[in-house]
Structure 1
Amino acid sequence: MESLKVSDYMNHYPVTFAPEMVIEEASLRFLKTKQIGGPVINDKKQLVGFLSESDVLATMLKTSYYGEHMSDVSDLMRPDVLSVKPYDSIVELAQQMLGNKPKVYPVVDDDGHLLGTICRNDVLRAIDIHQRSRISR
């Protein structure tokens, strides 16, 4: 199972956000894509943060209550992001996911450029596919 790599199971087209994006637009992206979180990237496609639905929820409640724009993505994003490399092992990532709570991890190259994301469901799918292939042999 050590041969299972993140690059083989990651989402190559994740929802992404820009730091200057208004939170209302970010909320619409979540609704359209049905993803629960996404990387925040700068204009060079480098990872600068992470935004989740829960980060947006409280602010959206305030926005609807006060009826005005409250913040941008940069105000709500988490700048300290756990990320993985495309060549990382799925097994090691699964073990990391047991200890850490992020459900979605950005996948970045060695220069910090975003390549995609991988979530718990992707990891579970990878392990399931591997186990099913062993059983059918």
Structure 2
Amino acid sequence: MHSILVENYMDGNPHAISDKATVRDAIHLFMKENIPGAPVVNEEKLLVGFISEQDCIKEMLNDAFYCEESPAVTAVMSTEVKTLDPDDSILAVAEAMAKAPPKNYPVVKSGKLIGLLSRKHILKALVETNEDCYIHH
């Protein structure tokens, strides 16, 4: 099972948001694509952070209270992001994810965002592997 790799199940075309975007832009992306968060990348597609719906809710409450303009995503995003390598084992990631957040892991190669692995991707890999076990027994 350790041979099941992240690159085989990740979303190879993840919805990322520019580090020049505003929190309001991020919210529109989340609503349009029905996603709970997104990696934040710079012009070179290097991963610089991750912004979630929760980050945006906190900020929008503040904006509504003070009637302020929407800040840049870089003001509210998480900069300490757990990332994966495309060659990482799905089993190892599943074990880590079962114990603690995050729900999504950006997949990077040489610092550049190349994919996103979510709980759904991991469940798909585990279900397919489990089905293979039944076929071979």
| Counterpart for residue 93 of structure 2 | 93
Contact 1:62 1:70 survives alignment (8 Å): no
Amino acid at match of 1:115: I
Structure 1: how far apart are the matches of 2:11 and 2:47?
16
The question of whether the paired residues in 1 share the 8 Å contact of 2:24 and 2:70 is answered with: no
Deviation at 1:126, TM superposition (A): 0.3
Quote the residue 2:56 is aligned against. 56
TM-score (norm 1): 0.92
Superposed CA RMSD in Å reads 1.3
Aligned to 2:42: 42
CA distance in 2, matches of 1:14, 1:61: 27
Q: Is the CA contact (8 Å cut-off) linking 1:38 and 1:51 kept in structure 2?
A: yes
The one-letter code of the counterpart of 1:94 is: A
Residue ranges of structure 1 left out of the alignment (5+ in a row)? none
Q: Give CA-to-partner distance per residue, 1:96-117, whole Å, 9 cap, x none.
A: 11233100000001x1110010
Structure 2 CA distance for aligned equivalents of residues 9 and 122 of structure 1: 6
Secondary structure in structure 1 of the residue aligned to 2:116? strand
CA distance in 1, matches of 2:119, 2:37: 12
- Structure 2 residues without counterparts, runs of 5 or longer: none
Deviation of 1:71 after TM superposition, in Å, equals 1.3
Shift in Å at residue 56 of structure 1?
0.5
> Residues 16-75 of structure 1: CA distance to partner in whole angstroms, max 9, x if unpaired?
112221111110000011111111111111111111111111212233344431411000
User: What does 1:83-122 correspond to in 2, within 5 Å?
Assistant: 83-109=83-109, 111-122=110-121
Bigger mean CA offset, 46-55 vs 64-73: 64-73
Give the whole-Å Cα distance in 1 for the aligned partners of 2:9 and 2:98: 18
- Partner in structure 2 of residue 27 of structure 1: 27
TM-score by length of 2: 0.92
Classify the secondary structure of the residue corresponding to 2:107. Answer: strand
| Deviation, structure 1 residue 95 | 1.2
State percent identity of aligned pairs: 34
